[in-house]
């Protein structure tokens, strides 16, 4: 079965640079959630989109923005990167069963 | 908002033993409780879930129980195998935090051969 696709899988950036993470949902899934997971931590919700509109917002820094496109893929844009932004970034998607979220493999971001 | 507490933080068992991980939640309006297994370098994988109108659910060696009155739910793994070794997260969904999962802190399960 098709799964959630995230790209890139690994990303190394310098401080103050920008990064763009991409998420491609499971086919027919229209909702995307972004989570940040620090080392040894549980995933923390950042932001979500339903039918291309922002549906909920969590602990997302103002330096980050995200959007969902007409094909339902989503991009997380991160600017003015800080060392503390180094983490695993997951997107999760769901469709008809609104509460069941399926996670992608994640993007490991390292800020030097 | 919702707050989920998970215990223990680490759990070590011998192959064939049972493992139990417990979680409590704070928002009585939460109505969906999934469990995820996360292996090193991978995304969380949904292994079982339970809705608030059900007290217990079982899938082969894995079972989850829910006590709505006490606001706690547990994961039970029987006949553990080394490949069960991973980090397990409980989560809660619904209520005032509708639209997002609130995770517990995670349990590192190690199954020794």
Of A40, A101, A106, the CB nearest to B101: A101
- A34 to each of A9, A16, A20, A88, how far by Cα in Å? 15, 21, 13, 11
pLDDT at A59: 87
Chain B contact present for A58, CB below 8 A: yes
Residue B8, pLDDT > 90, answer: yes
Q: What value does the mean pLDDT take over residues B5-16?
A: 98
Both tokens of A58, joined, read 């969590």
Q: Say what percent of chain A tops pLDDT 70.
A: 99
Residue A74, pLDDT > 80, answer: yes
| Residues of chain A contacting B41 with CB distance shorter than 8 Å | 108
CB contact under 8 A, A102 and B32: no
CB contact under 8 A, A105 and B93: no
Question: Which of A96, A64, A68 lies closest to A78, judged by CA?
Answer: A64
CB contact under 8 A, A56 and B100: yes
Look up residue B18 and give its DSSP letter. -
Q: Say what percent of chain B tops pLDDT 90.
A: 81
Q: What value does the mean pLDDT take over residues B55-67?
A: 96
- Pairing mode of beta strands B19-25, B4-7: antiparallel
The B-side interface with A (CB below 8 A) comprises: 31-32, 34, 36, 41-46, 49, 89, 93-94, 98-106
């Amino acid at each position: 079965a098709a799964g959630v696709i995230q790209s890139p899988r690994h990303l190394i950036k310098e401080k103050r640079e920008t990064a763009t993470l991409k998420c491609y949902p499971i086919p027919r899934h229209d909702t995307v959630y972004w989570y940040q997971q620090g080392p040894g931590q549980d995933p923390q919700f950042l932001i979500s989109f339903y039918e291309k509109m922002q549906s909920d917002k969590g602990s997302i820094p103002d330096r980050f923005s995200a959007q969902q496109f007409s094909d339902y893929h989503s991009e997380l844009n991160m600017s003015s990167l800080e060392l503390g932004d180094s983490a695993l970034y997951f997107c999760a998607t769901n469709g008809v069963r609104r509460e069941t979220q399926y996670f992608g493999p994640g993007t490991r971001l390292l800020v030097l | 908002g919702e707050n989920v507490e998970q215990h223990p933080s680490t759990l070590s068992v011998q192959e064939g033993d049972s493992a139990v991980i417990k979680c409590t939640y704070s928002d009585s309006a939460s109505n969906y409780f999934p469990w995820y297994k996360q292996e090193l370098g991978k995304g969380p994988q949904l292994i079982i879930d339970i809705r608030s109108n059900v007290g217990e659910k079982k899938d082969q060696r894995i079972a989850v129980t829910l006590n709505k009155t006490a606001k706690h739910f547990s994961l039970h793994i029987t006949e553990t195998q080394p490949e069960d070794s991973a980090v397990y997260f409980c989560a809660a969904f619904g209520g005032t935090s509708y639209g997002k999962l609130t995770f517990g802190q995670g349990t590192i399960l190690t199954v020794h051969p």
